[in-house]
Chains A and B, each alone.
Chain A
Amino acid sequence: MVRYTIRRILLIIPTFIGASALIFFAGFALPGDPVSAFGGERALPEATRNALIERYRLDQPVFDQYLGYMGDVLTGDFGESVLRRRSINDIFAETFPNTLRLAALAVVFELVIGLLAGIVAALRKGKFLDSLVLVSTIIAISIPVFVLGFSLQYIVGVQWQILPVAGLQEGFRSLILPAFVLGTLSLAYVARLTRTSLAETLREDYVRTAQAKGLRHSRVIGRHALRNALIPVITFIGIDLGALMGGAIVTETIFNINGVGFNLFRAIGTRDNAIVVGFTLIAVMIYLTMSLIVDLLYAALDPRIRYE
């Protein structure tokens, strides 16, 4: 287990270097440069242009820029945006907590609603509740996020006025709608995954064994079936949390939440390379860490993995 963990951690290093190089050079392969992007429709005066190019090391060969950048990254400095003249660290520090809260609540929705729906559907397979879950998850999966977001904003926020339409001014209440919208897709997926996995597990021989042992139905389901059925579900949710922490472009934009995804998206649009590279790099790190945690969690949950 310890060796497995160490191996997995060591594996992160080359992955990170590879990803960073890819992201960095991809940023440079695109036409144009951040200084021109800053100038907009009016070309910048030459001297201003040069001053900016020098300040942001854009006159160095790309590879030197990469080395210099990675040197800074190792000291924890992810650079500065040419277009906004702000440190990437500051922007990230400001946006990540919002994204994290949003992701966390979305995952709570996935866990609570998704799991319950999936369990109910599996236990009532073929019955009304099962069909209800199947149909509503199909709907949830096929509605585009922005349509769902707009509709909920209009109905819950404008018509009923029971939750804020956008922003984070009202704390937890502000998070409910966006987190729900953000979690819907995964929630539906969790419900279906739980349903399939549990239904499959219920057919397993060891569930019959548990029944034959004279255990209470709830124990057969909860202790024996679910404990196995939820392994892929928990794994999925872990990976999903990693992905959600990378930011949610559409949800954050619609609900006006100053999050990682929205900032990254805007930076791509305005060719703000420093934000694109910095944010992507951090998101990759978070994702790698999350998948490491998920792997370890998986090993903890499934003894068959643990000893291999």
Chain B
Amino acid sequence: MAGTVSTIDPRNVHPEPGEPLLDVEDVSVEFHTDAGVVKAVTDLSFNLAAGETLAIIGESGSGKSVTAQAIMGIVPSPPGKIPKGSIRYRDRDLMEVPDKEKRFIRGQEIAMIFQDPLTSLNPVYSVGWQIGEMFRIHRGASRAEAREKAIELMERVRIPEARRRVGDYPHQFSGGMRQRVMIAMALALEPKILIADEPSTALDVTVQAQIMELLDALQQETNMGLILITHDLGVVASVADVVLLMYAGRVVESNEAYPFYEKPAHPYAHGLMNSVAKLSGSEKRLEPIVGSPPSLLRVPSGCAFHPRCPYALDPCWEEIPHLREIDGYSGVVACHFAEEIRG
């Protein structure tokens, strides 16, 4: 099976809804820096099916982007390392497949939209060239064909005057348009999985909404699995099927979106919800959770959240809580006192 790509048909029809696509199990990612080992992701597991939208949420630095990089197989190395775990796409273990196949899967089976549209496009190539490159490299298209395809895609992500602007450079576009270029590029080969790393945070509210709508529409069309990384709980509520809440590199709660939204179990989730509630209230001021996210160089002992947790008791210092089901809640949560706190 090594080296063959035949089981994955590049011109595959869209997958059936509910078809399992991605299985992440027990993945950890470390960065060996001069200052020490950064444990960016620890024991991460989740599944994704076709047509499903998984939202990964968490504060800055909680390991969301690193998770996406691990799936894409682009964790910068050095300093990055994946000491354990497996990531399976359909029937392949992405960490085992040969380079050639990895490249094949990247971009056309699993694609990614990066966090910052301002810096994620190459400044010295025109947007048309960058979108077209997908067709030229993976589909052997000629320059002219690639250009036509690029225009088509640009129209599809609703970039106005696509034909005229196909030769323009990234710096000539607004942030929203650039994000659309990124999306066009990611969607070029109709991937089965799209990872969107905060596709809208850098943009203003109306543009954010448009982008989300766009992604939603595309998902309807192709049944792709969508991993949406975001801070924005509002977005989560409107589009996500499943939510993964991360704290200090670990998943601390995972559930379907609706029940999670209604009443999450983890104290950290409460804090997040409160800050959103405050934001939408009259004061329009974010009330963040007291304290700041921990340094991943020195993750606090026991439950990493304990320095900031209003409910923390002795065991929280000593023992790492594992994800578990609790009575009366449909999801899993990693908190020693989840039952008590839920009341």
Contact = CB atoms under 8 A, between A and B. Distances in A.
A227 interface: yes
Interface of A: 125-126, 203-206, 208-216, 219, 224, 227-228, 231, 301-304, 307
B173 interface: no
Name, among B102, B134, B137, the residue most crowded by chain A CB atoms within 10 Å (CB to CB).
B137
Contact of B107 (A126, A214, A304): A214
B123 A206 contact: yes
A125 B138 CA distance: 30
A214 B116 CA distance: 19
B104 interface: yes
A204 B76 CA distance: 11
B107 A212 contact: yes
A301 B121 CA distance: 16
Contact of B124 (A125, A209, A301, A307): A301
Contacts of A304: 123, 169, 171
Given A209-B114, A227-B124, A228-B123, A214 B137 contact: yes
Contacts of B76: 203, 208
Nearest to B189: A214
15 contacts: A205-B115, A210-B122, A212-B72, A212-B106, A213-B106, A213-B133, A214-B106, A215-B133, A215-B137, A227-B124, A228-B124, A302-B123, A302-B124, A304-B171, A307-B171
Contact of B119 (A126, A205, A215): A205
B134 A209 contact: no
B124 A205 contact: no
B78 A126 contact: yes
A214 B5 CA distance: 14
Name, among A211, A227, A301, the residue most crowded by chain B CB atoms within 10 Å (CB to CB).
A211
Nearest to A225: B122
B298 interface: no
B220 interface: no
A212 B119 contact: no
Given A213-B133, A304-B169, A228 B122 contact: yes
Contacts of B116: 205
Interface string B101-116: 0111111100110111
Given A214-B107, A224-B122, A231-B124, 15 more contacts: A205-B115, A205-B116, A205-B120, A208-B69, A208-B76, A208-B114, A209-B182, A209-B185, A212-B111, A213-B106, A213-B107, A213-B185, A214-B103, A214-B105, A303-B123
Nearest to A231: B124
A214 B123 contact: no
B119 A211 contact: no
B295 interface: no
B124 A215 contact: no
Contacts of A210: 122
B74 interface: yes
B174 interface: no
Nearest to A208: B74
Q: Which 4 A-B pairs have the closest CB atoms?
A: A214-B107, A214-B106, A205-B119, A206-B122
B42 to A, nearest CB: 22
A214 B123 CA distance: 19
Contact of A303 (B106, B133, B169): B169
Contacts of B125: 227
B301 interface: no
B240 to A, nearest CB: 22
Contacts of B74: 208, 211-212
A211 B123 contact: no
A228 B123 CA distance: 8
B120 A209 contact: yes
Name, among A210, A213, A224, the residue most crowded by chain B CB atoms within 10 Å (CB to CB).
A213
A299 to B, nearest CB: 12
